[in-house]
Structure 1
Amino acid sequence: MTPGKHPQEEERLRELRRYGILDTERERDFDEIVELASELCGKAVSVVNFIDDDRQWFKAEVGLGVRSTPLDTSLCGHVILQDDFVEIPDTLADPRMADNPLCTEEPGFRFYAGAVLKGANGLPLGTLCVLDHSPGTLNDTQRRVLKVLARQVMRELDLRLSLERETALRREIDHRVKNSLASLGAILAMQARRSDDPAVRAVLEEAGGRVRALASLHAELHGFDDGRSVDISSLFNRVETDFRQLLPKGIQLAITVKGDRASAELANALLLTVNEFVSNALKHGFPDGTGTIAARIAVNAEGWSLVCSDNGGADAEAADRAAAGAGLGTRVIASLAHSIGAQPAWCAVDGGMQLTLRGERQDDS
């Protein structure tokens, strides 16, 4: 007898496809379940199968040797229309299966027991079942084993679906944050260009620089699955490219990085510190409109360091003011340094300003 269609067949198939399990490769997680079911139930064959619209497809099997069979001969196609658990001691005594070639031809399946696999909406998707070539029965413990293992199959599938949803949601949020930061940066840049007030323009440009720095950090941070560490070389290559598009024509920028990855907290502080140093250098240095700004970042197993310098004309008095936190930029740098356990050291070197930060390597980097 050919299995009938479920009363909610279209909805059932939609639920099955929502799990994305059909035609996937064999996996040890599911193989172990059928091996355990076969062993504990003492039956030659065990499968995790799903009933598609025209076939019965096996995610895992032991003792069968195929990945799918036509729906016309499916034993489980009958079972998903019945109770949550079905046991058939002798298939040839069951009118649904008495003429099924899988049961009548040698070596046919004479015993069947299966626990239905149900989706989150309660509709049947397939079964975890055991089969044998001789009639028989299961004891209560074996029946319970099948039911528990069937629930385990669906827990695994539900967990995977939840993780996929979480990943998709995070990507959507990341995309929106990226667009928001880009829009905010563009608005600040546009307002800075339109302003006739030099002070207002300077504030907007500083704010825009910080937004661009955060956008760069966000792009790098969310390029990795762990969400906790950043490729600092890639991050500062991105930042250097952005800076060069905004620097006055006569100002050169050189950023060098030694090391691979840093914690998100450390990367954020280093990035914003470089951003503040560059902004301060442009604001207070280079009276003739030419010069160089450099930043050297190093991260290794022992610790990290950041050295920022320029040849913009600063003297010892300017370095003392910076150390005292006389300006907003230097106060921001002091706060950033404190957040990562460092103390900023300012000095006048070779006709310019130099800032040095050092600290121990963080555990999550």
Structure 2
Amino acid sequence: MKPERHPREDDRLRELRRYGILDTDKEREFDELVEIASDICEAPVSVINFIDEGRQWFKAEVGLGVRSTPLDTSLCGHAILQGDYIEIPDTLDDKRMADNPLCTGDPGFRFYAGSVLKGANGLPLGTLCVLDHRPRALSDHQRKVLRVLSRHIMRELDLRIALDREQTLRREVDHRVKNSLASIGALLSMKARRETDSAARLALEDASNRIRSLSSLHAELHELDGQASVSLQSLFMRIEIDLRQLLPEGIQLTISVGDDRVGPQLANSLVLIVNEFVANSVKHAFGSGHGSIKVEIEAKGDRWSLVCCDDGSAGAKEAERAATGSGLGTRVIHSIASSMDIAPQWRADGYGMELKLDSSTANSVG
């Protein structure tokens, strides 16, 4: 007997498609669940299946060897119309399956037990089921295992939807932040051009440059999200290009970094520190309008170091002020270093400022 349509079939199919699970590749997480179900229920066949329009599709299976079968011969198509759990001791004694070629053949499926997989709206999507070639029954423990595993499957699918929704929201937020930063930077730049007071104009130009730098950094740091490790050379190659576009004419920037890989959190911190040092140097170091800024980064295993220096006019007093975090940029650097339990080292002798951070000095803060 062909399975009947669910009373809310259109809604059910929409819910199934919302999960985006159909026609996806095999995954170990699901393969292991059918293996567990097969072992504990002592059944030669176990499947995670979803009832689509005209077919039943298997996300994972043991003992079947196919990824889909026609809906006309689906045993699970009947199961999703009957509560949360169905067990049929002998399929040939059930009028819905007595003429099913999957049951009447040799060897046919004479036993069926399935726990229904339900979407967030309560509609049935498919089953986690076990089948055997002989009539039988499951123990209470085996039935409980099937129910628990089926709930685990749906929790996994619900979690994936939640993560997809979060990533979509974050992309939207990132897009809005990028547009907002661009708008603010353009507005400050416009006000700077119209400002007649030289001090106010310089302040507006500095703010505009910082906003533009933040906008560029935002785009770079967004790409780090979700990566297991980051190539520092590739990352800082792009960062160097971005920062050079913001430097006044006559200021040179060189960033030296090996082809090392680090975690995204460390990469993020290094980028922000370099950005703040460069911004401070541009603002305070070069009275003549000419100079150079150099950055050297090394990372080997768990050890890393960062050295930033310029050839400006900073002396001991400027180094002391930097060490106390008296300015916005240096406060940012100290905050980031503190989060890593590292004390930044500042040195200046009248020929430029130098900043050093070394992971070997961790726990030296305070």
**TM-score scaled to structure 1, two decimals?**
0.86
Give the corresponding residue for 1:75. Answer: 75
Work out the CA distance in 2 between the residues paired with 1:5 and 1:137.
28
Work out the CA distance in 2 between the residues paired with 1:228 and 1:264.
13
Shift of 1:244: 4.1
Work out the CA distance in 1 between the residues paired with 2:166 and 2:222.
14
Shift of 1:66: 1.1
Give the corresponding residue for 2:349. Answer: 347
Map 1:236-315 to 2 at 5 A.
Answer: 236-249=236-249, 251-259=250-258, 260=260, 261=262, 262-281=266-285, 284-286=287-289, 291-301=290-300, 302-310=303-311, 314=313
Letter in 1 for 2:294: A
Work out the CA distance in 2 between the residues paired with 1:253 and 1:306.
16
Shift of 1:238: 4.1
Give the corresponding residue for 1:142. Answer: 142
1:178 aligns with 2:181: no
Distance 1:246 1:194, change over 3 A: farther
Shift of 1:331: 3.1
Map 1:112-127 to 2 at 5 A.
Answer: 112-127=112-127
Structure 1 vs Structure 2 CA RMSD: 2.6
Work out the CA distance in 1 between the residues paired with 2:221 and 2:227.
6
1:12 aligns with 2:12: yes
Shift of 1:295: 2.2
Distance 1:330 1:209, change over 3 A: farther
Work out the CA distance in 1 between the residues paired with 2:40 and 2:206.
69
Shift of 1:321: 5.0
Work out the CA distance in 1 between the residues paired with 2:315 and 2:305.
23
Map 1:123-134 to 2 at 5 A.
Answer: 123-134=123-134
1:357 aligns with 2:355: yes
SS class of match (2:183): helix
| Higher mean C-alpha displacement, 136-145 vs 333-342 | 333-342
| Higher mean C-alpha displacement, 268-277 vs 13-22 | 268-277
Give the corresponding residue for 2:156. Answer: 156
Q: Which runs of 5+ in 2 are unaligned?
A: 338-342
Shift of 1:333: 4.6
Work out the CA distance in 2 between the residues paired with 1:147 and 1:272.
55
Shift of 1:234: 4.9
Work out the CA distance in 2 between the residues paired with 1:139 and 1:246.
72
Work out the CA distance in 1 between the residues paired with 2:200 and 2:125.
64
SS class of match (1:99): coil
Distance 1:148 1:334, change over 3 A: closer
Work out the CA distance in 2 between the residues paired with 1:11 and 1:151.
21
Work out the CA distance in 2 between the residues paired with 1:186 and 1:238.
22
Shift of 1:223: 0.7
SS class of match (1:51): strand
Shift of 1:230: 6.7
Distance 1:49 1:336, change over 3 A: closer
Between the aligned residues of both structures, percent identity stands at 55
Q: Is the 8 A contact 1:258 1:297 kept in 2?
A: yes
1:335 to 314, 317, 331: 331
Work out the CA distance in 1 between the residues paired with 2:156 and 2:221.
29
Letter in 2 for 1:272: E
SS class of match (1:300): strand
Letter in 1 for 2:355: L
SS class of match (2:350): strand
Shift of 1:323: 3.7
Distance 1:300 1:111, change over 3 A: closer
Work out the CA distance in 1 between the residues paired with 2:44 and 2:239.
63
Shift of 1:355: 0.7
Letter in 2 for 1:357: L
Q: Which runs of 5+ in 1 are unaligned?
A: none
Work out the CA distance in 2 between the residues paired with 1:336 and 1:14.
49
Shift of 1:220: 2.0
Distance 1:294 1:124, change over 3 A: same
Letter in 1 for 2:315: A
Shift of 1:125: 0.3
Letter in 2 for 1:292: G
| Higher mean C-alpha displacement, 300-309 vs 146-155 | 300-309
Q: Map Cα deviations across residues 246-300 of structure 1 (whole Å, 9 max, x no partner).
A: 5554x14222222445443343122112111112245x323xxxx3322223233
Shift of 1:325: 4.0
Work out the CA distance in 2 between the residues paired with 1:140 and 1:358.
66
Q: Who wins on radius of gyration, i.e. which is larger?
A: 1
Shift of 1:45: 1.2
Q: Map Cα deviations across residues 181-205 of structure 1 (whole Å, 9 max, x no partner).
A: 1221122122212222211110011
